[in-house]
Structure 1
């Protein structure tokens, strides 16, 4: 029983991380029908900004985290304006290639400017401590990460469903051209989407760095792929779907390692196997909708 509860706590924590990052993927796809592969590398950027803020500039951890979130959000908006906006009317494959190019650019800039050697991420004592409940022991992050994820999910859901900006987002996601003809500032909506999505990636990157306190320029590659799979699993374009997919993927990984340790070497492959089955039997995802592509 203790093993089950311990595994459940770890699964919820990892699933929350995947869900938080997957929401950024699904928001951008919902508006532009674009898989923003650079989204995963924003995790790395946020982690390094927070690291240098604490270790080099000796800033308070909470201030470093806020700066990391703000600068990463601005970087996300800049990427949209420089790499994606000029190609908005180009064939879809051109935008996809641009997204992959931006991802490789960020990774290799990190390797050249910072170095490929991993760095140990600092864990503030105010955030990270051991919690013991009977025979179960876990880090405070196991509780903090799901709480932060749920709060941000509620905030994003409220923004999308209850605000004027959210109404514009939903209009643009339904029909890009018609929304622009109805006095919706499409560029502003897209920039806001990237701002929110990149902020979520930054928070996810900081929490991931705290949970696994070692950062390097390629740290976002595998988490990014898994969060993309989580978004597809839940129904890419659906915020609740991304949340659900993240939790399912995280829980599945942790339970696989805990109860079938002989398969722990296949932990990463588990996510891709799930993706194959989802694409075979429910291509739109668990909560996804059938959308007819315009020619």
Structure 2
């Protein structure tokens, strides 16, 4: 029993760390622009494809690449997707910044569909095998089975999340981003480069999403042009659960969502007598989304928004 619990815990931590990387992109954009970037799931998908192409270019063919090639492909893909995020913000969101909130949201949906279609046309709609970025050695611990790949994914994700925390809370860049998130007009009056801060958010967010896509594809060994749809929606659910706009909330929500998903998947066949199998695991995420929106719309760590705060925060 203890071994099974440890094994399921590591499964939840692995999946939760991937969800957290994607959820951070949603929450950062919302925290600064009060906008839901529905194209962020495609940054997750592009990360996997960019890493595959970079790895193919570095080693000639994806087969048995060395550690240096894997690390180089990982960072090259993350940077590429980060700059794609900046380009999307400049072309699709910046012209609509002073419009209604609905306009950039609809624009993000258009960008999402366009990116999926572009990958399907250029590379193909069929699933593709993805190489493992970590050795997959099974370890027996207290009667449970964990893998070195799970450990590698968890460590990589925690390092990236820790780096983001230090960037936001301990650096001058983080102070600038938080100032813009608090009030763009006031930040502009203080001489802060608002456009630069927003571009930084659209650089860091897609970079984290791309890293999540690489880790996810490495974990499951496959990538598809539509892989960002369901996983992106789960990460969005995690951001809502933790409190959209809150970086710690996004991470907390991701791990809670993964724990519920993994635990529910293990219990569903038992509770239903085999009627409901693991294929219903995605339903749990969206049930949580509905419940959170009904009973705690601000999320676990989010701040409830009153009419007074809306008037105070309104930008003219």
1:72 aligned partner: 81
1:179-203 per-position Cα deviation (integer Å, ceiling 9, x unaligned): 1111110000001111111110111
Out of 79, 83, 90, the residue aligned to residue 81 of structure 1 is 90
With a CA cutoff of 8 Å and minimum separation of 6, indicate the structure with the bigger relative contact order.
1
Counterparts of 1:136-285 in structure 2 under 5 Å? Answer: 136-261=144-269, 262=274, 263=276, 264-285=278-299
Regions of 4+ moved over 3 Å: none
1:120 paired to 2:129: yes
1:16 aligned partner: 17
Q: Does the aligned pair in 1 maintain the 2:244–2:299 contact within 8 Å?
A: yes
1:52 aligned partner: 53
SS in 1 for 2:227: coil
Q: Distance in 2 between matches of 1:193 and 1:206?
A: 20
Q: Distance in 1 between matches of 2:118 and 2:157?
A: 29
1:108 aligned partner: 117
Q: Does the aligned pair in 1 maintain the 2:238–2:253 contact within 8 Å?
A: yes
Q: Does the aligned pair in 1 maintain the 2:29–2:37 contact within 8 Å?
A: yes
2:6 aligned partner: 5
1:16-62 per-position Cα deviation (integer Å, ceiling 9, x unaligned): 11111101110111000111111110111111111122235526222
Q: Distance in 2 between matches of 1:73 and 1:131?
A: 35
1:97 paired to 2:106: yes
Unpaired segments ≥5 residues, structure 1: none
User: Which sits farther off after the overlay, 143-152 or 272-281?
Assistant: 143-152
1:264-289 per-position Cα deviation (integer Å, ceiling 9, x unaligned): 23211111111111111111000001
Q: Distance in 1 between matches of 2:9 and 2:15?
A: 10
SS in 1 for 2:140: strand
2:140 aligned partner: 132
2:66 aligned partner: none
CA-CA distance at 1:290 after TM superposition? 2.2
Unpaired segments ≥5 residues, structure 2: 61-68
Aligned residues: 294
Q: Does the aligned pair in 1 maintain the 2:4–2:143 contact within 8 Å?
A: no
Q: Distance in 2 between matches of 1:266 and 1:234?
A: 23
1:119-177 per-position Cα deviation (integer Å, ceiling 9, x unaligned): 100114x5333222253222212112222222222211111112111111111111111
Please give the root-mean-square deviation of Cα atoms over the aligned residues, in Å: 1.5
Q: Distance in 1 between matches of 2:177 and 2:193?
A: 10
